[in-house]
Structure 1
Amino acid sequence: MRGRIVVAGLVVLAVSGCGAERGPVRVPPPAPIAVDVAAASSGGACRLLDFAVIEQHVKVRFDVAAASDRGDTHTCVVRTEKATVPELTLTVTETSMDKATFAADLVPDSAAKVAGLGQQAYRRTTAASAGHGPVVEVGWLSTDGRLATLHWTSPRGTAKPAADKVAADLTALAKKVNTRAL
């Protein structure tokens, strides 16, 4: 009698599929891991910038950087992953230009002088144009013979007083840029 019960139980298991081999169990993939990458990892003039230092001065957290080197000119553009503006560009070029030539040939007429930045420096804010708000520029002749420019493009709709505030913040950031490290 016991033998019949065991055989009957095995038959029920076989028919019900419990003894059949099933395909692999599918496990959902793990969530992607977000990794912060330093601006400096992009090379070029990005080696002179740090996302945290930029955020400390201009109150915007950038997370994307791209660099370009062409001859003696090194450039870095930083943005947020989700928007093209605001955008911050740093350009550094080796030069043999002196202070007088810098003042005569490169400082725009509408620019204000900046003290305590390189041999000589200026800053200016230009009006908004198609596609973006006001543009802020801080330019200087460094003590190590390089021309440097920080260029900030504001989002469309940014008021000029807000851009002027960024000009002051950008000047403080420029004072942290060590062009000798390039």
Structure 2
Amino acid sequence: MRVRTWLAASAVLLTAGCAAERPPVAVPAAEPVAVPADAASSGGACRLLDFAVIAKHTGGKFDVAAAVDKGDTHTCVVRTEQALLPELTLTVTDTSIDASGFSMDVLPRGAKKVTKLGKIAYRRTLPKSGKVGPAAEVGWLATEGRVATLRWTYPPATASAQADKLATKLIDLAKALDTRKL
């Protein structure tokens, strides 16, 4: 029995080594696959944004993000690859001011107060200016000592009423952001 097993094993080993080598099969190169990156991959204040969350709350679809950090201020701008406008800008700055300081120093004249967003918040619509259209802006004093603003700037041909409508959607987006994650 041992002899038969040894002979069978030897035969297998001998025939395996005698097989002719085959040339490698050429496989055509696959087309590169574009993997969509999320806004958070840009770092800075972009870590707080997600393209899907922006679309859910505002209806706007973006696919490019860029971040800048300077001192205690973190900024993120999101756009589409095909156009400069519209764009959404998020700015978050560490601060030591309180709600009364925010009201006196940050709250713009004519802005409407917003409830249930941070310690104190506002919304406003900015008119067309130069080569940009109207803008909707929401600003708030977050509970952890940060001032944050979201601004959506439209192309020049956009009506101001559209920016005013969007301001309420920006409030919803602002409520979805967690500025503690910076």
Q: Please, what TM-score do these two structures have when normalized by structure 1?
A: 0.82
Query: 1:30 Cα deviation (Å)?
Result: 4.4
SS of equivalent to 1:36: coil
Q: Can you list the C-alpha shifts for 1:87-114, whole angstroms capped at 9, x where unaligned?
A: 0010101110010010011101110000
CA distance in 1, matches of 2:62, 2:129: 23
Any idea what the Cα deviations from partners look like across 1:44-63, whole Å, max 9, x if unmatched? Answer: 00000000000111111100
Between the aligned partners of 1:42 and 1:142, the Cα distance in structure 2 is 22
Q: Secondary structure at the match of 2:176?
A: coil
1:147 corresponds to which letter in structure 2?
Answer: V
The list of structure 1 runs, each at least 4 consecutive aligned residues, that deviate by more than 3 angstroms after superposition, is 29-32
- Tell me the residue number matched to 2:9: none
Aligned to 2:57: 57
Match of 1:107 in 2: 107
The one-letter code sitting in structure 2 at the alignment partner of 1:92 is V
Q: CA deviation at 1:86?
A: 0.4
1:121 aligns with 2:118: no
Q: Deviations over 1:37-79 (max 9, x none)?
A: 0111100000000000001111111000000111111111100
- Specify the alignment match of 2:137 in structure 1: 137
Cα distance in 1, alignment partners of residues 127 and 68 from structure 2: 27
Determine the structure 2 residue equivalent to 1:177.
177
> Structure 1: which 5+ runs fail to align?
1-24
Name the residue aligned to 2:152: 152
Name the SS for the 1:158 alignment partner: coil
CA distance in 2, matches of 1:57, 1:48: 14
| Secondary structure in structure 2 of the residue aligned to 1:85 | strand
- Residue aligning to 1:163: 163
Q: 1:11-50, aligned counterparts within 5 Å?
A: 30-50=30-50
Q: Between Structure 1 and Structure 2, how many residues are aligned?
A: 156
Matched, 1:88 2:107: no
- Give CA deviations for 1:9-31 in whole Å, capped at 9, x if unaligned: xxxxxxxxxxxxxxxx9x7x644
The separation in 1 between residues aligned to 2:60 and 2:71, in whole angstroms, is: 31
**Identity, % of aligned positions:** 60
Gaps of 5+ in 2: 1-25
Structure 1 residue 32 displacement after superposition: 3.5
Q: Take 1:35 and 1:61, find their aligned partners in 2: how far apart are those partners?
A: 17
TM-score, reference length from structure 2: 0.82
In 1, the alpha carbon distance for the partners of 2:131 and 2:77 equals: 18
